[in-house]
Structure 1
Amino acid sequence: MKLVSRAALMAAVAAGALSAPAFAQDRQTVDVITVTAQKREQGIQDVPVAVTAYSGELLQNSGVRDIRDLAVIAPGLNVTSTSSEYSTTARIRGVGTVGDNPGLESSVGVVIDGVPRARNGVSFGDLGEIERIEVLRGPQGTLFGANTSAGIINIVTAAPEFEFGASLEATYVTDGADGFRVAGSVTGPLAEDQAAFRLYAARGDRDGFQSVQTFNGPRTQTEDNDQDFWTIRGAVLFNIGDRGELTIQGDMTERDEFCCGAPSIVSGPTAAAINALVPGGRPMPGSEDPFSRVIQSNRPTDQTIEDGGFQFEYTYEFDNFELTAIGSTRDYEIVTGQDTDFTGADIVYRDPALNSFEFGNSTFELRAQGQTERLDWLVGAFFSNEDLVRRDAIQYGSQFEAYLGLIGGGNPVLVTTLANGLGGAFIPGYTPLAPGQGFPAGSANSGGDRYEQDGQVFGLFTHNTFSISDSTELTFGLRWNSTEKDAMANFSPSNAPACDVWETVFGEALDWSTAQNQAILAGFSGASGVPVASLIQFGTFTCLPSARDAYSNINFDQSLSEDEVTGLISLSHRFNEDFLMYGTYSRGYKAGGFNLDRFTQSGSNAVNFTNVLAGTSEYPAQFDPEIVNSFEIGIKTEALNDTLLANLYIFYSDFESFQLNTFNGLGFFVTSLNNGAVTQGAEFELLWFPESAPGLTLQGGITYADASYNSFAPTGTADVDRLSGQNFSLAPEWYASGSISYVRPFGDGMQWLAHLNGRLLSEQNTGSDLDPEKVQDGYAVFNGRIGIGAEDESWSLELFANNIFDEDYIQVAFDGPFQPGSFNAFLGQPRTIGLTLRARR
């Protein structure tokens, strides 16, 4: 089915079920929807914030298990996954953080049961039993702090109950990949009216939806993007006296999977060199077929994830105010391998024994809030401490040397030929390298680099609403953020004899522009017949960052300290019970940090290794904070006896500075665009419970977002200059999403369910550097579900399909590593068909 017909179907369904129970018939109204967008319970239509709430029932019907699935139903939200399950990035209104460098924090915050997760990746996973998810769009820095410059995904899980209940769910999936998922929960009292508990556990296993050609290995696994996990969550609720309440939660998840291969979407001229080494190692130009979902990968992509933590929330109601304390401690670790060249040739890879990311985070928040006749006030303090350790090692495979020679001059022994020529001419007593000794198998930074970062955040905040009159309110808030970070790196010495020759002859800084090096280049060019420009290019490729010993002599031990004030002011007026209008100014902030990687470029400038190695300047790892000023006008309406909600938001966000992480095929480099960027547009959302059709629920939304970089003067760096005046990557101008649920009784105590939800995105460039090869045309994805069950919800049986039309689309495209002119992509998931059986009591 073509996109236009699918878009027509989307328009026909118009929307999705917000709080329609999977199997329930009670009359519903929009005025009972409660959110905690302002850290207090309020009706969704009373909050001067662009917020949409999704109930547990809608999330269940839509197949939402983690934040990636949420994008199917949330307008203006885009969630992508790339090189590992950690590399999950959320974007709202076109704004998000690019890449998987842990030195960059998130633009979209994720909060689970009141506790913020400092990175989107550590929020990934089975969320268990969900009460609701709220998506807040626009900066939320006043109440939620830094790293919310684009918005918040606020997740509220199901709480313990004093009435006994239990559930069991079993799902079988097939088509794109076969697998199963089982989950169960139990809740009930531990002591009557004094203590209650909830326990949830799930186990999932699924085949990979990509087939792998392993060639000569050492990989043996012939599938990729599989799933194998278990998770357990527990919570205990204590009523302490008449006024106190304490909830203690704990959770643990483990995953053992293969992820994430990326097929070729464009094969450039280097494909011939790969096929000369391994026939079929990469599709030749013109034969690319990424959606056959067959990838070439001779190295393992195995990953192991452990994620867990504890948290508590204590509330006490005094006579005139309420005190809330929330504390948490969490630990996350991922160990991952990668076929870094994404081909069947043994060129570059990451060994899981040397590549990992560990993240520990503790938080504490204390706030007091109360009400007087006209003032609803809140004050609080927040503290966070995080420790992260990244281990990274790019290693060269057995065919890297030959590959480099083939693409550099069509000669598989060119690496040692040039190294021996240089060494013999300029290094006394030089011993020539035999072919294969220039880059022995497993060479480069084979010991692994180690990055460590400690960070502390302290904030004081206040958020208040003053009733000017019975119908007009002024909301105002301020937050002072203090951030301190310390980062250090221990770069491993490299085992790359060919690069050692170049660094010895030209100096570790490899500054080709010095008079001495220009003379050496000219002399060697005359002797070898290789042009100077070609020598510089080949020397650069011979001494890629992973091969250079220069890094092991860099003293990387840096600190930063930031103080930033964020806030908001909002004026709202309720013209009548069903019509609210507001205008808001808010200021958001995302902390600066450090590029925890090897790189040769910082922003628009090449790294001056001469000064860095001499100790006269620091390794330029630090980048600036991200600051945004946002303006929003909102109109919230209800109609048809409070069964229809129709809201409109108009927004304009001006970024004083913007953090950009760009991959150029050799590595990531971070640019702080101080000339800024702008995102502007409008959103419309609809929720309708038709009184004439009990059991029918429709909800949907459409977003227009023009997110673009401001024009700036040329910097001389093509990957940066290309962005001037252009739209952000992964920022389609149009988003539309919606769903429809219908539940009707039949027979004796039975009922049936029909549910459809869908998502439409316009054209977008999926690459951080906006190469035209990375454009994804507009597409639509639909999910559907039908089922039967008991009216008392004691059991149900449901048949579902995700990506019903098996739509092929790219999540993120990127330059083929070390392969100029070639491009690969991480794909969206294919169609999945499944059957779910549920039982409850």
Structure 2
Amino acid sequence: MRLRGPWSRLLPSGLWLLAACGPALAAAPETVEVTATRLPERVDVVPADVTVISGDELRARGAADLASALALVAGVEAPSGGDTGPAGAVPSFWGLHEFDAFLLVVDGVPWGGALNPSVPTLDLNDVERIEVMKGATPVMFGATSFVGVIQVIHYPAGHAANQVSVGVGDQGSARGALSLALPDIGQYRQSLVLDGESLGYADKRKAVWNGHALYRGSAPLWGGAFRIDGDITFQRQVPPSPVELQGIALTTLTPRDANDNPSDARIDENRYHAALHYTVSTAAGDWSTTLSFAHSDIIDIRGFLRPTLLDDGSTPNADSQNQRRLIQDGYFDTHLSREPSDNLSFIWGLDALYGFGKQASVNGAYYVPLNGTMLAPPTTSLHVDEVNTMSDTRLFVGQYVQVDWKPAARLDVLAGLRLNETLENKTSAHLDGFDPMADTLDRNKKNVVRPAGTIGASYKAWRDGADGATLYADYRNAFKPAAIDFGPDNTPAVLNPETAQSYEAGLKGKLFAGRFDYQAEAFLQDFKNLVVATTDALGNPVLKNAGGERLQGVELETHTQLDQDLLLAANISCHDAKFTQFTVDDNGTPVNVSGRQLTLSPHVLASAGLIYIPPAGLEGSITVNYVGSRFLNEENTARAPAYATLAASFGYRFAGWRLSFTAQNLTDQRPPVTQSEFGAGSYYLLDGRRLFVDLTKAF
């Protein structure tokens, strides 16, 4: 692809400035990661596409959510919102925009476990760094992801950003945070994070209220190191209404920010999480164990317009759900790492991922005027059309081994194998509000034993001081049990796992005395056995394994240290994501869409950012993101145009204080960015402009 306009001048200009700086600048320090290997490994050696974002950069850019945090990662989108509410997000990797296709990890623990990533409760205060890895992790984390991993790593116990901040924003928004290292108690080290926020939106009903606390402690124990984490989140959301697709464009019958939800709509969640970690050196190697458990209570009340968009003044034109949900996640991992020689290391371990979800959904129907002039009735006043209940227990158990072998000074081979056993037991019931004879009770279970693995290699083709170039390639074979969307429908089947095979090859390295780093990659991934939403002989919604997809493309990510305190980041991605086997049945007429583009998958993504972080005085950042045109429907008849967003932050540091201004989506773009899993042919819009002024005091 040929870049035009400002994009064509951005990278050459940055390189010219870099060359003009001469040798006075120090080379950037080597960056390490732990997501791909569990053990610290230099990013330029790992045969995978890994990006590390420092906490200092996040704070300088005012990045408070995934969308802004990942804005400068090549080929990744993470627009806020979606079916989990305005506090959630649906990240996309390699052109695949699915709520469950990626893995979210927080401090080494899968955040959402065997069910779905718990994005709404993710907190980015007091973050030391974020690691983003493209592709699956079939060995280290098992049957949990296909296209990417996002790992958020907070400061360890006894360390913190050590600051307190308060902020006010537009739409009546406000926030505050405190992070500090608490006094040591003997050899016991500890730290605490407290934060809360209230967010308003152009849709006056849409809102987020969030309160969060994180406590971390660590101490030497029995010759090793013990660590404890405790995390509590109390969250209240009022969801927006997605906009319906009418023909080949979004409908204009409803105002852009109309909220058609029932008057009692809300998504409330209380989440409690605890984790224990222990690491000790033994004669056999370093032994590490992690045990975690999380419990969530959720109330989910909302409604969705029917695609007919009927508005005759009385006939129901929307469906409601009033859900009570209980979610429990457990994680256990124990592994031994050993380095018998300078050129050989390995990890052997076993883990278990537990998930339990229990839900009761009381469903009804209601009328709401499409022009948004009247509030819809509460769900408690509606006739109960049906009650759908579900109880699902999952256990993913695995044994794994990973070997890192350096047969030559320039060659590094990383290979891993895992034996997975996934067990799922599901009980579903349907109580019909009109015909008791239509009541059903289903019990289904499935047990799958399957290997998964990866093999990759990197070769240092050239090295000169801090500069160099490394070629790498890898192959990954992964599978993942079908996700549970916790929607209103009765879906009793336990489906077969979805599978994926991916191939990657790339070049990464540094130039100009280490001040310019780059990573270019080509990838190809084939999905099979994908879950397809369709209808049965009676017209009832059902899910089945009947789909296939192919993702392929190239991505380029660069970082240029123009000055000791000035960083230029620029990237571009070209994706081609297509259905290889897929049939949609939205209106009772099956349509084969094989060979067509995936929904909301642009061919081109690009971004650029300039970040200035001096130790004192003025600081700031500017970030531009470009998203190419994409299709809204599987038939590829409804195209959404390309758009660009602008974010900026400006601040001033003085005597331990920092006054900052942050703006997200300054151009106030409102395109469709996420498709609802529940409302047929409905789309959530990008959040509008967000402005904040914050005052921070460092300790």
Q: Which residue of 2 aligns with 1:155?
A: 152
Give the superposition deviation at 1:237: 1.1
Using the TM superposition, name which of 794-803 and 232-241 deviates more. Answer: 232-241
Equivalent of 1:476, from 408, 415, 438? 415
* Structure 1 residues 351 and 719: alpha-carbon distance in aligned structure 2, compared to 1, 3 A threshold: closer
Whether 2:134 is the aligned partner of 1:116: answer no
* Structure 1 residues 797 and 671: alpha-carbon distance in aligned structure 2, compared to 1, 3 A threshold: same
Contact 2:350 2:397 survives alignment (8 Å): yes
Q: Which residue of 1 aligns with 2:82?
A: 82
Whether 2:695 is the aligned partner of 1:837: answer yes
Deviation per residue, 1:118-169 (Å, 9 max, x gap) = 345523232321111111101211111112111211111111226x973101
* Structure 1 residues 697 and 684: alpha-carbon distance in aligned structure 2, compared to 1, 3 A threshold: same
* Structure 1 residues 642 and 377: alpha-carbon distance in aligned structure 2, compared to 1, 3 A threshold: same
Using the TM superposition, name which of 334-343 and 700-709 deviates more. Answer: 334-343
- Looking at structure 1, the residues matched to 116 and 640 of structure 2 have their Cα atoms a distance apart, in angstroms, of 23
* Structure 1 residues 334 and 14: alpha-carbon distance in aligned structure 2, compared to 1, 3 A threshold: farther
Contact 2:485 2:677 survives alignment (8 Å): no
Give the superposition deviation at 1:94: 1.8
Equivalent of 1:327, from 279, 288, 291? 291
Give the superposition deviation at 1:594: 6.8
Helix, strand or coil for the counterpart of 1:134? strand
Which AA in structure 2 matches 1:134? E
Q: Which has the higher strand share?
A: 2
- Looking at structure 1, the residues matched to 345 and 239 of structure 2 have their Cα atoms a distance apart, in angstroms, of 49
Contact 2:168 2:693 survives alignment (8 Å): yes
Which AA in structure 2 matches 1:631? Y
* Structure 1 residues 484 and 165: alpha-carbon distance in aligned structure 2, compared to 1, 3 A threshold: closer
Deviation per residue, 1:324-357 (Å, 9 max, x gap) = 10110001222122133288967366777x4122
Q: Which residue of 2 aligns with 1:303?
A: 267
* Structure 1 residues 96 and 622: alpha-carbon distance in aligned structure 2, compared to 1, 3 A threshold: farther
Q: Which residue of 1 aligns with 2:460?
A: 574
Deviation per residue, 1:578-632 (Å, 9 max, x gap) = 12111211111111467866769xxxxxxxxxxxxxxxxxx87232211111111
Deviation per residue, 1:419-464 (Å, 9 max, x gap) = xxxxxxxxxxxxxxxxxxxxx9722435x32100011111001111
Larger CA Rg, structure 1 vs 2? 1
- Looking at structure 2, the residues matched to 385 and 68 of structure 1 have their Cα atoms a distance apart, in angstroms, of 28
- Looking at structure 1, the residues matched to 205 and 178 of structure 2 have their Cα atoms a distance apart, in angstroms, of 28
Q: Which residue of 1 aligns with 2:623?
A: 757
- Looking at structure 2, the residues matched to 41 and 65 of structure 1 have their Cα atoms a distance apart, in angstroms, of 26
Q: Which residue of 2 aligns with 1:562?
A: 448
Whether 2:57 is the aligned partner of 1:61: answer no
- Looking at structure 2, the residues matched to 112 and 467 of structure 1 have their Cα atoms a distance apart, in angstroms, of 30
Which AA in structure 1 matches 2:394? G
Q: Which residue of 2 aligns with 1:356?
A: 324
Q: Which residue of 1 aligns with 2:45?
A: 46
Equivalent of 2:134, from 137, 156, 163? 137
Which AA in structure 1 matches 2:178? G
- Looking at structure 2, the residues matched to 623 and 810 of structure 1 have their Cα atoms a distance apart, in angstroms, of 30
Contact 1:262 1:826 survives alignment (8 Å): yes
Q: TM-score normalised to the size of structure 2?
A: 0.86
Contact 2:361 2:388 survives alignment (8 Å): yes
Equivalent of 1:183, from 177, 200, 210? 177
* Structure 1 residues 458 and 132: alpha-carbon distance in aligned structure 2, compared to 1, 3 A threshold: same
Deviation per residue, 1:173-214 (Å, 9 max, x gap) = 11xx2211000012044234x11111111111122321xxxx
Q: Which residue of 2 aligns with 1:445?
A: 385
Contact 1:309 1:331 survives alignment (8 Å): yes
Contact 1:6 1:780 survives alignment (8 Å): no
Helix, strand or coil for the counterpart of 2:176? strand
Considering Cα pairs closer than 8 Å and 6+ residues apart, tell me whether 1 or 2 has the greater RCO.
Answer: 1
Q: Which residue of 2 aligns with 1:313?
A: 277
Q: Write the mapping of 1:338-737 to structure 2, written as runs, cut at 5 A.
A: 338-341=302-305, 347=316, 354-373=322-341, 374-397=343-366, 442-446=382-386, 448-494=387-433, 496=434, 500=435, 549=436, 551-552=438-439, 554-577=440-463, 578-592=468-482, 621-661=493-533, 669-673=542-546, 676-690=548-562, 693-710=563-580, 721-737=591-607
- Looking at structure 2, the residues matched to 571 and 372 of structure 1 have their Cα atoms a distance apart, in angstroms, of 20
Which AA in structure 1 matches 2:132? V
- Looking at structure 1, the residues matched to 268 and 516 of structure 2 have their Cα atoms a distance apart, in angstroms, of 46
Using the TM superposition, name which of 88-97 and 567-576 deviates more. Answer: 88-97
Give the superposition deviation at 1:478: 0.3
| Number of residue pairs aligned between Structure 1 and Structure 2 | 662
Which AA in structure 2 matches 1:800? T
Identity %: 16
Helix, strand or coil for the counterpart of 1:798? strand
Deviation per residue, 1:246-298 (Å, 9 max, x gap) = 11001111112211223456499xxxxxxxxxxxxxx9x766552xx244455
Q: Which runs of 5+ in 2 are unaligned?
A: 16-23, 370-379
Whether 2:132 is the aligned partner of 1:168: answer no
Whether 2:653 is the aligned partner of 1:795: answer no
Helix, strand or coil for the counterpart of 2:44? helix
Q: Which residue of 2 aligns with 1:337?
A: 301
